[in-house]
Amino acid sequence: TKLQLKYRELKIISVIAASENISHASTVLGIAQANVSKYLADFESKVGLKVFDRTTRQLMLTPFGTALLPYINDMLDRNEQLNNFIADYKHEKRGRVTIYAPTGIITYLSKHVIDKIKDIGDITLSLKTCNLERNAFYEGVEFPDDCDVLISYAPPKDESLVASFITQYAVTAYASQRYLEKHPISRPDELEHHSCILIDSMMIDDANIWRFNVAGSKEVRDYRVKGNYVCDNTQSALELARNHLGIVFAPDKSVQSDLQDGTLVPCFQQPYEWWLDLVAIFRKREYQPWRVQYVLDEMLREIRHQLAQSQQLRPEQAAESED
Apex 159 CA angle, 166 and 209, nearest 5: 70
SS3 assignment, position 287: helix
Question: At residue 182, does pLDDT exceed 90?
Answer: yes
Q: What b-and-e string marks burial along 105-119, b requiring 16 or more CB atoms within 10 Å of the CB?
A: bbebbeeebbeebee
Cα dihedral: 218, 222, 226, 227 (round 10): 20
Question: Considering the entire predicted model, what is its pTM?
Answer: 0.70
Q: What is the pLDDT of residue 189?
A: 86
**Which DSSP state fits 110?**
I
Which of the pair, 218 or 175, is modelled with greater confidence? Answer: 175
SS3 assignment, position 288: coil
Q: What is the pLDDT of residue 312?
A: 46
Contact yes or no for 282/164 (Cβ under 8 A)? yes
What sign does the CA torsion over 277, 280, 281, 286 have? negative
Question: At residue 219, does pLDDT exceed 60?
Answer: yes
Per-residue 3-state assignment (H helix, E strand, C coil) for 49-69: CCCEECCCCCCEECHHHHHHH
CATH 1.10.10.10 given to domain 7-89: yes
Mean pLDDT value across the chain: 87
Q: What is the pLDDT of residue 321?
A: 41
pLDDT in tens, 89-107: 888 888 899 999 988 889 8
Q: What is the pLDDT of residue 311?
A: 56
Q: What is the pLDDT of residue 56?
A: 64
Judge if 7-89 and 169-275 fold alike in CATH terms: no
**Which DSSP state fits 194?**
S
Q: What is the pLDDT of residue 206?
A: 86
Cα dihedral: 72, 73, 78, 84 (round 10): 130
| DSSP of 239-264 | HHHHTTS-BEEEEGGGSHHHHHHTSS
Q: What is the pLDDT of residue 100?
A: 96
**Residue 37 class from Cβ within 10 Å (0-12 exposed, 13-18 middle, 19+ buried)?**
middle
pLDDT band for position 163 (cuts 50, 70, 90): very high
pLDDT in tens, 5-56: 889 999 999 999 998 888 899 998 999 999 999 999 999 999 999 999 987 6
Contact yes or no for 137/202 (Cβ under 8 A)? yes
Q: What is the pLDDT of residue 297?
A: 93
Apex 318 CA angle, 317 and 323, nearest 5: 95
Q: What is the pLDDT of residue 299?
A: 94
What sign does the CA torsion over 199, 204, 205, 209 have? negative
Distance between CA atoms of residues 187 and 176, nearest Å: 16
What are phi and psi for residue 62, nearest 5 degrees? Answer: -75, 170
Instruction: Please state which CATH number belongs to domain 94-166+277-321.
Output: 3.40.190.10
Which distant-in-sequence residues (6+ apart) come within 8 Å of 134 by Cβ?
200, 201, 203
Q: Which amino acid is at 214?
A: V
Instruction: Please state which CATH number belongs to domain 169-275.
Output: 3.40.190.290
Domain boundaries, the chain: 7-89, 94-166+277-321, 169-275
Q: What is the pLDDT of residue 316?
A: 41
Q: What is the pLDDT of residue 239?
A: 96
**Which DSSP state fits 131?**
P
